[in-house]
Structure 1
Amino acid sequence: MVETETFVPDAIEEIDDEIGDANAVIALSGGVDSSVAAALAYEAVGDQLTPVYVDTGLMRKGETEQIEETFSYMDSLRIVDARERFLEALSGVTDPEEKRAVIGEQFIREFEREARDADADYLVQGTIYPDRIESEGGIKSHHNVGGLPEVVDFEDIVEPVRDLYKDEVREVARHLGLEEVVAERMPFPGPGLAVRVIGEVTEEKLAVAREACHVVEEELEEYDPWQALAAVIGKATGVKGDNRVHGWVVSVRSVDSRDGMTAQAQQIDWETLQRIQSRITGENDDVARVVYDVTHKPPATIEYE
C-alpha cells in the first residue's frame, strides 16, 4: 500500500521539477484518478495549470454538472463541448481497439487545442498502473496509454499516479481531503459509454446505456460494488403491451475487486435484479430484455470492450 505521507510531497516535487516555469493542462474526467492528479498538479504549479474537462457525449448521466460543482474552486476550469466531434469520429467504427484509438486521438487533439489557447507545453493525466499493465500486455488499449496517437504536440505527458493501483489512488485522495463523492467514486472507463456499447456508437445506444447505468448504480449502491454498470450488447425480440418489439438487450454487471486486475461477479438477490430489469425496460421503450452477467475476471474483463 502507498505511503501517502511520503508519496504526496514526492509527487508534488516531481511535477514541479518536470513542468518548471511552463504551463500545463490537466485532463480532468471527474473520476478519482484524474482528480488526484489534478489536486497534486494544482498544489505543485498553481496558476500554471489549466484544468480541462472534455464533454465527449460518452459520459455518465449528470457528469458535466458534477464536474462544474466539484471543481468550481479552480477558477481556470474549462468545459469543452466536443460531443459532435467525438460521435463523428466514431461513426462506422465497430472494432473495440479501433474505438479506443479513435477516442484516444480525439482526446489528445482536444487537449492540444486547449493547450495552445493556454500557452501550455505539458499535459497532465491520471494514468494508473493497471492502465499500463493492460495496454502493454495486449489485453486492451487504454485511451490514455496504448490508444494515444504516435505524434503528440506536447513537450511531455506528466502522470503523477502512474505507479499506483486504484485502491492506492483512493488513499491519496483521502489524504488530500478530496470530497467523498470523488474519493469513493465508482470507476468509469476513460472511453466512457463507448465501451459499454457493442458495435457502432450511436446517440440512441448511448442514451440507453446512460440511463441503464444510472439505474444500476442507484439500485446496487447497498451492495457497495467495486464497479457496477450496464451495457447495450445487441437486439432481441420482446413483447410490450400487445406489440412485438425488436429492442435492445442490456447486460447488467456488478463486481467486487481490490485493484481491478481481477474481479468477482457479485451475487445479487432476485428481488433487486427484478427491480433493475423492471426499471430499465419500463423507463425505455426500446429495451426488450435485461440479463445479468455472472462472469468473473478472468476470463472476462470488467468492461465489455
Structure 2
Amino acid sequence: MWPANQTLGGNFFLLGIFGQSPHPGFLSLFIFGLFLMAVFGNAVLILLIHVDSSLHTPMYFFINQLSFMDLTYISVTVPNMLVSYLTDRASISVTGCGTQMYFYLMLGGAEYCLLAAMAYDRHVAICRPLRYPVLMSRRVCLLLASCCWFVGSLDGFVLTSITMTFPFCRSREIHHFFCEVPAVLQLSCSDTTSYKIFMYLCCVLMLLIPVTVILGSYYSIILAIHRMTSAEGRKKAFTTCSSHMTVVSLFYGAAVYNYMLPSSSHTPGKDMAMSFFYTIIAPVLNPVIYSLRNRDVARALRKALKAGKLHTEA
C-alpha cells in the first residue's frame, strides 16, 4: 500500500505513555477501566436507541452514529496499546501503523461533520418545528450521515496516503501511544514543510465549515429560545443543546490544539496528554453526557431494566 516504506524491513516502535509513568501497572488498569466504560456506555446507548421506538427520531439517529464512532474510535488505539504493554512488544508494522492512522483520521473527520449535522438538527427542531418532519426526514438523515462518513474516509485516505509515502530514515521510535500524523512525521528525513502546510489547510477547512454550521445554528437557537414564553420549553431546549455543545467543546478544543497550533507550542508529553483526552476520555464522557442529561434516554433505560427484571422473574 505504501511502497516508499516497504524498504524499512522493520517496524515502528510506539514508546507510549507507560514508560513515562512511575506506576505503569496502575495506569494500564486505569486505561483498561476507561476502555470498558466507553464500550459499555456507548453499546448501551446504541442498544437503547435501536430497541426503544420512542428514540427513533433524527436526534437519536445522530446520537447513535456518534456512539458508534466513539466505540470504534477508542477501539482503534487502546487494545493495541494495552496488548503492547502486556506482551512487552511496542512494535507496530508499517501496514498496521498506516491502517491505525487511516481509521483514526476517518473517524475524527466523520465526527467533525456529524457534530455539525447534530447542530443543524437542533436548529430545525427548535427554529422550524412545523417543517421538522420534512427537513429532517429519514432520507435526509441518512444522506447527512453518509456525507459525514464519506468526508471522513476521504480525509483519512488522503492524509494517510501522503504521510506513509515519506521516507523514514531516522529513529523508528514514535513518541506516542498510536500512529498519529504529527508524531509519525517527526521520523521523516525529508522536508515535510509543504505537506504540513497542506495538512494545516485541510484541518482548517475540516474545522471551519462544521464550526460555521454549528455557530450559525446555535445563534438562531439562542434567538428562538429567547423568544419562547414557556419556561419548560426553554429548559428543555437548553438542556438538549447544552449536552451537544459540551461534546463539541471537548472534541473541537482538542483538535485545534493538535492540528492548528504552531509546532513551537507542542511537546511529546503535551501531545500525548491531549490525544489521551480526546481518544480515550471523550468516548467515555459522551454517553454519560447524553444519558444523564436526557430524560428520554433515562426513561428508555428504566423501561429496559424493568422489562429485563420482569423477564428474569418470569
Structure in which a larger fraction of residues adopt strand:
1
Q: TM-score, normalised by structure 1?
A: 0.25
More relative contact order, 1 or 2 (CA 8 Å, 6+ apart): 2
Task: Pick the structure with greater CA Rg.
Answer: 2
